[in-house]
Homo-oligomer: A and B are copies of this chain.
Amino acid sequence: MRATIMYGAGDVRVENVPDPSILQPTDAIIRVIRACICGTDLWLYRDMPGSETGVSMGHEAIGIVEAIGRDVRTLERGQVVVMPYASSDGTCEFCKEGLPTACVNLGIMSYQGLNGAQAEALRIPWADGTLYPLDVDTDDARMTSLLTLSDVMGTGHHAAVVARVAPGRRVVVVGDGAVGLCGVIAAKRLGAEQIIMVGRHPDRLALARELGATDIVSERGAEGVERVRELTRGYGAHSVLECVGTREATLLAIEVARPGGAVGRVGLPHYEAIPGAEQTFWKNVTVGGGVAPVRAYIDELLPDILEGRIEPGRVFDRAVGLDGVPDGYRAMNTRESIKVLVSP
């Protein structure tokens, strides 16, 4: 079969690789019908040292179950499923507590020796705990929105939950990528009174407005902080969604938080320490978040997608086949595209 392999910064190739096979009795094989490229993949695309073996890319998919191991109980061949980016056994105490990304059998798809989803098929460990069955046809019009349940919509929602978005709250979303845009959807869905998007890409900001952002701030650093303060009666926001992952974005998130407020971090941190130790202390600002337990959020988010109340699939602005994946990386990396849909 064909799969996407990254061999180093900027070096993405679609190649023939061995077909996946059941290795454990709890595995399933899915045929990928929709996948996509993630902002997280771009970190590697920019910085990955050269590798002879490469990394199998992609951690978001909707697929059809093609084979199951002998211990798989909840799935059968032909079932349409969402594949969350992390595999989890569904039975450990963390899974039961709603934190499958702390599963004692956690795997992150495309890393840790697992194959990626920008491919025709892949093996899924702990299939019962990981895959979420969908009652839709493969040509369903809501397919792109359903695909976001595998990562970006659940991740934006996680940021909003950790940042304690609730009716009447003033919210800032830092970062206008796909996760930030899903953060806007999540904040609106949870009843935010004001949603301030901090970003600088006109096309993304226009989409943010359509998805529910009430204000846009494009100034950087201290000017951006000042602008958010002006928009929030001088006090800052109750809830801040950090959807970038840099030290600068995190510091901005903390600076625009209102005393007693909360920052939800979902941008993969590219910094060693969380800035603002004194500022968070004097303001009693809580900093939380992390790898989003998207599998646990599907129950809550799925009905809103099926019934058309949210359309996170709108973050996709380009569609390619597998052969178009390398150009998809290029387009996302140059910001020509927000998020690229892949139909193998």
- Asked if A284 lies at the interface with its beta carbon under 8 angstroms from chain B, I say yes
- Asked if A285 lies at the interface with its beta carbon under 8 angstroms from chain B, I say yes
* Known contacts A94-B259, A260-B97, A260-B102: A277-B272 contact under CB 8 Å: yes
State A298–B288 Cα separation when bound (angstroms).
28
Measured CB to CB, the closest approach of chain B to A247, in angstroms, equals: 8
- Asked if A290 lies at the interface with its beta carbon under 8 angstroms from chain B, I say yes
State A78–B317 Cα separation when bound (angstroms).
72
The residue of chain B having its C-beta at the shortest distance from the C-beta of A250 within the complex is B277
Choose the segment among A43-51, A197-205, A263-271 that binds chain B (4+ C-beta atoms closer than 8 Å): A263-271
* Oligomeric state, in copies: 2
Q: Which of A102, A277, A282, A289 has the most CB of B within 10 A?
A: A277
- Residue contact B289 to A99, C-beta cutoff 8 Å: no
State A50–B199 Cα separation when bound (angstroms).
47
- Asked if A286 lies at the interface with its beta carbon under 8 angstroms from chain B, I say yes
- Residue contact B290 to A283, C-beta cutoff 8 Å: yes
Interface size class of A (residues with CB under 8 A): 20 to 34
* Known contacts A260-B97, A286-B288: A272-B278 contact under CB 8 Å: yes
Measured CB to CB, the closest approach of chain B to A123, in angstroms, equals: 23
- Residue contact B283 to A289, C-beta cutoff 8 Å: no
State A255–B70 Cα separation when bound (angstroms).
39
Q: Which residues in chain A, 60-105, are within 8 Å of chain B measured between CB atoms?
A: 94, 97, 99, 101-102
- Asked if A224 lies at the interface with its beta carbon under 8 angstroms from chain B, I say no
* Known contacts A97-B260, A260-B102: A287-B287 contact under CB 8 Å: yes
- Asked if A8 lies at the interface with its beta carbon under 8 angstroms from chain B, I say no
Report B-chain residues with C-beta under 8 Å of the C-beta of A101.
284
- Asked if A274 lies at the interface with its beta carbon under 8 angstroms from chain B, I say yes
Report B-chain residues with C-beta under 8 Å of the C-beta of A286.
162, 286-289
- The one of B262, B269, B275 in contact with A281, judged by C-beta atoms closer than 8 angstroms, is B269
- The one of B97, B260, B293 in contact with A94, judged by C-beta atoms closer than 8 angstroms, is B260
Measured CB to CB, the closest approach of chain B to A283, in angstroms, equals: 7
- Asked if A166 lies at the interface with its beta carbon under 8 angstroms from chain B, I say no
- Residue contact B265 to A281, C-beta cutoff 8 Å: yes
Report B-chain residues with C-beta under 8 Å of the C-beta of A343.
none
State A97–B274 Cα separation when bound (angstroms).
26
Report B-chain residues with C-beta under 8 Å of the C-beta of A97.
260
* Known contacts A272-B278, A278-B269: A259-B162 contact under CB 8 Å: no
Measured CB to CB, the closest approach of chain B to A118, in angstroms, equals: 24
Report B-chain residues with C-beta under 8 Å of the C-beta of A293.
284
Q: Which of A275, A283, A288, A289 has the most CB of B within 10 A?
A: A288
- Asked if A303 lies at the interface with its beta carbon under 8 angstroms from chain B, I say no
Report B-chain residues with C-beta under 8 Å of the C-beta of A283.
102, 290
| 8 pairs of residues in contact across A and B, judged by CB atoms under 8 Å | A94-B259, A99-B259, A101-B284, A250-B277, A271-B277, A273-B277, A281-B290, A285-B288
Interface set of A (CB-CB < 8 Å, partner B): 94, 97, 99, 101-102, 162, 250, 259-260, 262, 265, 268-269, 271-278, 280-291, 293
Known: A99-B284, A274-B287. 10 other contacts (CB 8 A): A99-B260, A101-B284, A262-B288, A272-B277, A280-B288, A282-B291, A286-B288, A286-B289, A287-B287, A287-B288
Instruction: Give me the 5 closest cross-chain CB pairs, A-B, nearest first.
Output: A286-B288, A102-B259, A273-B273, A284-B290, A274-B274
